[in-house]
Every structure is written in structure tokens, then in C-alpha cells.
Structure 1
Amino acid sequence: MKYYVTIYIDELLEDEMLKHVDFSLLFKAKFSQISKQIDFTHAFLGLTKDKSPDELDTMKFERDVKYWDYNLGKLVTFRKEEYMWYDTTTTNEFNDGFWGFGTGTGSVNDTAGKVFNNNQYVLDNNVDKNRYIIKKLRSPQTFKPSNRCTLEISEEQYNTLLTNIKADFEATKEITPNSEEPINEEFTYKLLENNCVVWVVKKLSSIGIEVVNPVVKDPSGLLMATKLIQSIHSIFLKFQNIDDNLQSVKGAKAFKNWARMLINNSLMQEIYLDEYKKYYNSENLSPEQEEVLYALWNITRVYETLDILLSRLITKSGTKNLKGTFELIYFDKNDKQAKLLKADNDYEAIIIQDLDLSKKYNNFSVSKFYPFIFIPKDEMLSRTLYHKYDYGNISQEYQKDRNEFYFNVLAGEKSDKYWSSSYHKMTKSLRKVYVS
């Protein structure tokens, strides 16, 4: 079964935001009533399983339309009506609901926040009746593919996310439109600082999803980032589909954090620059052009570079069903140590002084300056991938110099002890390698 989380953006233009407003209230100074009539752009999450939103859009759903029969003294079915799968307050075998964070009171800032279910509907925070009343389904544009961002996730990620969301829902359950105090600082709604987008980003980050720019705090900014979020996530899925350990929340979060540490890694920057030159058949870039490319280096470029490295392994393996384990290597700038993350150690960082190069997969990564080690499950496949790097017994001098050189490059330092064609090709530009 497949599992999906979808970011929805109910993006309203000015005329849509104000079309339900009674402006005569302005002259009566009833500003609190006006604020209740204004619809705001909003971001929220939807969770589906077995079927993606695109698939559910093509399915037929029906419900009973009932009326009260006074003769029978009960509700009876009048007819059936079709409805879109998201236009219902009940969950089903495919849909685990729509959830979002917003103001729980009549105020729109620095007030008690609340996590809502059925957040595909716009609510009236009715102070007079002290309850929430459904006003309408959100704008049709909200549910179009252009305004939603669907991400396939693992079963563990899905269940963890749903559990965390329901915990937030329960924590704010007692909030009503007349609540005077928020539950705590975490659930204090602040229009520009702790709003619907901040909540969405936190929930996705908590299960290891890269949201590109966590400082984005408005729905329009999140909408602009959705294409990049999908692109990055599709690359992570390639790693996750190969290594089952990355289906765990801990594994996914470790991968996300590791990739972010590669932003400040000069090794990855040089690989990116080399790939750019090959793609555009431009070996001789001016220093100014190179500086522009380095300035464009960001988390998106990190994932694009990882995708290139992984694609080479997949192509070389000759199979689309590659399975194995990834060990993730990085240089910790804070304590000046090379470290490794792997499932066998519960993704807790291990300080490494060297790698055993008698193991062909280690020798390959060190020789090719990969920031990860891939260990195939199939030994025959391992031989196919790494037969050129199976040196058998190696000298201590080779082991020492090769490791030292690899870790120096990883740290952004140049070493003269060992020179390889891979490194020479990667760093033949005039720019000195450094850690930014």
C-alpha cells in the first residue's frame, strides 16, 4: 500500500477574500465582525493511503440525500448525489482527513491557536454561540493539482505524522472561540510568526521531509516552493526505495540533516561545478561565471548532485531494482571531524579516522569522492559495481594516504600526499578549494 501526505494551499485573491464582507459594519466600528467575514489564504495537510489525490479525483463517490418523513417519523433517503472525495466530514478507507492550524478565537493574532480536522472547510469562529460553524468548502482552486503538493511517504512516516497531528488536535481540543488564553507558546497563533505554514513545515520536517526553505512563513511563499519540494522529495524517494532503512522516520530525518550539512561542503560544490561544465560542454568558465555558480549552490543543488551520483550507480548496476544500504559521510565543521551515519548504529554519528579500503565499496567511494557508501545486498551485483576497486590485500601506505586525501577533500583542504585523476579532474579550475 502507498501512503501520501499532501500540502494544500487555499490561495485567495483580494476580491475572493472580501466578497463575503459587509462593509456597512465599517461605519458601525464592528471590526471584530468584519474580521470573521474575511477569508484568508491558508495552508493545511491532507493524508491519504492506497490512493493519491489524483487517483481519488477520478473515482465516483455517492452519498444519500435524506429528508424527514413525518408520516414515518424518521429520516428516509430521497436520492443519491455524487460528490468529490474531499467534500465530506467523514474519513474512509482512503482518506484520513484534512488537518490544519489556525486561530481558534475571533482574533487573528497573538491568540489561542487550534488544530482543526476537516480543515478543507472554511469555519466561522462564532463567538456568540462559542462554537465553530462550517461556512463553505474552500475555493475549488485549492484542490487542483496546481495548488497542492502530494508527497509519497513510507508507512512509518505516515503513521507517525497522523499520530503527531492527532496529538496536536487533542492538545487544543478545549480551545473555543471564547478562549482567552492559548494552551502554551507552541499553540499560540501569531499571524506572521506561528501560523498555518509554520505548523505544516514543522509536521513535515518531523518525519524527515525536506521543505527547502523552513523560514517561509506565508502560504504564498510555500506555494512557490512546492515544485522544489516535490523535486527534492522525488530524489530522496530513489534512495529510500533502494534502502529500506530510510523508510524509518529516524532514517529519513538523518538523510535530510545529512544533505543539509552538504550545503557547506566544498567537495559537493566541486562535483556540481564539474557536472555543470559537462552538461553545458563548457570547460573554460571565467572566474566570474564560477563565482555565480557557487553563489547558486543550495539545498536544491545538493539533491541534484546526489541524484547524479546515484544515477551513475543505478546505470552501472544494470538493474532498476537495486537494493542495499547507504552509509552517509560528512565533515562536522564544529568539531573538525569526519563522521558517518548508518542504520546499524541507529543513525547516531560515528567519528571515523579511516575507511577499510580492502572493502571494495569503501574503496570506490574514496576513489570517486562520493559522500556516501553504497553496500548492495546482492554480492554478485556488488562485484559488478565495484570489481575495479577490489584490490584484495592493500598496503598500509596506500590505506593511510588514500584515506587522508579523501578526508582532506571532504573537509575542503588540499593534500599533496596522494593525487588521483578523479580529484584532478574535479578541481582543475583555478579556484582554490575551501569550505564556505
Structure 2
Amino acid sequence: MKRRSYLAGVAALAASLALTACTDGGTEDSSEPLSGAGKTLVVQGSAYFLPVFKEVGAQLQQQLPGLQIRYDELTGEQETSTNLQVVTSDAAPDVADIPTNLPPYRTLLKAKQLIPLDDVWAADDLENGYGKDLANSLKASDGHPYVVSYSRTLYGVVWYNKAIFSKLNISVPADHQIATMADLLTITNALRAGGFQPLAAGGASNYHLTWILDSLLPTSATTDQLNNFVNNFDAKVPITVDYTDKSFTAVLDRLKEMYDNKVFQDGTLGMDSPTTNALFASGKAGMLMGHDLSPTGAKKTSKTDLDLDFLFLPPINPGAKTLPVNYAGNTLAIPKQAKNPAIAKEFLKLLMNKENQAKAIKWSGGAAPAIDLPTSLLTEGKPANEMSLLSYGAANGTRDGWASIVPAKLGTTDPYIEKLFTGAMSSAEIGKALNGIRDELRSSS
């Protein structure tokens, strides 16, 4: 679907929803004990996470005999487009796949078409499980949560091929931290001199370059500045930082410095993510810009056994620590049109309890839990490379990704960064453009 026609459809649907915003939806009598007899719970999800949902659904069916569950698989395109119509129709699911950084979420919030989930959050202590900053970012401007984030993706990670580093006698930085740009350039030049491409990043992926921005922004901005960047697209939040401020433009300048110094592989702007991953998996690149499941993907593609470990790019401010970045936009909601909202809440409570969050690592094939868990629970189901990263995040902390929280219209910065690399835009001009998008979002919030 073309962007213009999609946005026009969203606007028309939002207008129609405003007329029905007072409709509560749902058919259950909250005064009656929950019963599964004769009922069918409809749960949406991506192919990657449906195995987790099915395990949780089986537990719910044991609690509510007679309950049937239908699982509807969604593609990324459906999440962005047609699912908005489905969620607001008479055929709405009970548990809806509504990523918070995609347009349908904002449209549904504005039209009051989602059910508050305060009781679900309270049941599993999600306020503390998520941590203060992430919890606040997941709540709507009225202070209530309308979604649960059920799985994090740790991204902004540089995976490196240990055999290549050893062959070229490249020193591995302590504590996984590349301390300075000079250190990064030393690694880059050694790889190129040895006949290997350095950091493989999909410049045409529309997200790899933003991943780098997301990983470095917390090393440039203070906690207060970062929180304002994350939230000031909402008109209720006062603007205390602009995208033209040094705290943001310094990260763009670092990206340009990396590009100019050939830190990325040759032809990076013409390569998408699958091409980049294949380059790394084939042993032609020493490093890969990736996430927590990148080693699993690389090993499936590679014809040889890969021994990998991870690094983090040098911080903007000396002495700062670059940490794994969370994508927290894997979120579920209960539509006002849901026929079984009370049962849907029980499903979400089961999904978000600590034991099932830990088990989901194995059920999904390695996804990170959405909440902070005791290390004692993080012992099963994740391959060694990914487990090492997860343990590092648990011990040292993680950051919530700016681009994973703000609306996609604001957080999709790869097209701007590509222009930065080619000299078509400066970091100040990009900041000005992002300020304009932020102000547009504020005017419509």
C-alpha cells in the first residue's frame, strides 16, 4: 500500500472512530466467574512469537476448560496497515498485535479504542519489571498503560568473528567496549589490510544506521535529555531538548566520521540486511551490526562453524559506557471491540509472569524477556553467544532505544543518514527536519 493512500485511510478511519469512541465493547459480565465454555479467544501475533503465545494459551485452557483459542498470524505490513481496520471492526481480536511505534497505536489511543491494562500491570508488577523509564514510555499521556511489551530485542551490537580477529592479531577490547574512535579505526584498518571488510551494516536496510544512532545517543545525551527526546513528540510534554542540540547532532557527526573513515563495508549504501548478513556469515567481513539473534541467523547461513563474540561502538562522551539497546515495541493490546476482554487479560497476565517470561527464551528460540529477571531464571534455552549478551545486559544494564519508542515517522532516520553520508544534508539540517516532524506530531497529539 502506498504511504499517501495509507495515511489518508488512517485519517478517514480516525475520524469515524471519533464518533464511536464512547463504545466500551466486550460482551462479558464482569460480575460472573470466568468460564471458557463455548468461548473462542482470538490472539494475534507474528510468526516468530506465536509459539510463545501457544504455550501460554495452553496454560490458560487448563485454567478455563472448554476455551478455544484461535491464533492469527500477522506480517509486518499488516501491522502497519490493514490491522487498524481489523482491530476496530466487529471481528476484532481479543489480544491485538499493536506495536507502539507504528501509526495504528496512536490512532487507536486517540479514538479511545483500547482497554486500559492497569490491572494486568499490577498483577505482574510490570512497573518495576520494565523499569521506570521504559514503564513511563509505554504509558499513554493519561498515565494509564494500554499495552504490554512482551519481549525485548537487544540491538546496536557489533558481533565479531573471533577466528578472523585471532588470525590478524587484533586485540580484543576489555569488557566488550571499544573505548575510542582511534581504537575502532585500528580494528578497521587491520581488517582491511588483512583482506576483510570491516563493519558490515545494511545501509539500504532502513534501520541498521538508526540502530547505531540509538546505541550511541545515550552516550551523548544525559538521562533527562534522552527521556525528553523519547517523549517530547507528545504535546503534553514540555520540550527541553531539540534535535539540533549537540547531544543529538554529535551522534550524527560520529556516523559521518565512521563512513568517511571506511568503517563500514564497501558499498554499504547499496546493501540491505540479508546481503549484509550473508557477507558476514561467509567470513568476508570481520564485524556485523546486529542484535541478540544475529549469531543464530549467521550460523544458519554460514557453511562453516562460526565462533562469535560481541563489542560495543565507542561512546560519544569519553568515559561513558555503550550498552545494549532495547527494542520494546513488541506490544499487545486489548481492543474495545474485543468479545472476551476479561479472558484476554488473563492471557496477558500469564504471558508476563516471571516464569513464563523466562521460558519464552526457549519457546521462541532465543528472544530476550521484556522484564528484568533474576539471573537464576536466565539459564535455559538461549544459545551461548546470545546468552552471553543477555547476561552482560543483566549485569551492566541496558538502554531503551529512542527510535523503538517514538513514532516511526520520527524514528526512521536511515534516509536522512544516507543523505548525511553523501553530503546532501548536514547534521544540523537533519536535526531541523526532525524538529519539524516532532512538532507535527505534537500538533496532532
Q: Using structure 2 for the length normalisation, give the TM-score.
A: 0.23
If each structure's helix is expressed as a fraction of its own residues, which one has the higher value?
Answer: 2
| Structure of larger gyration radius | 1
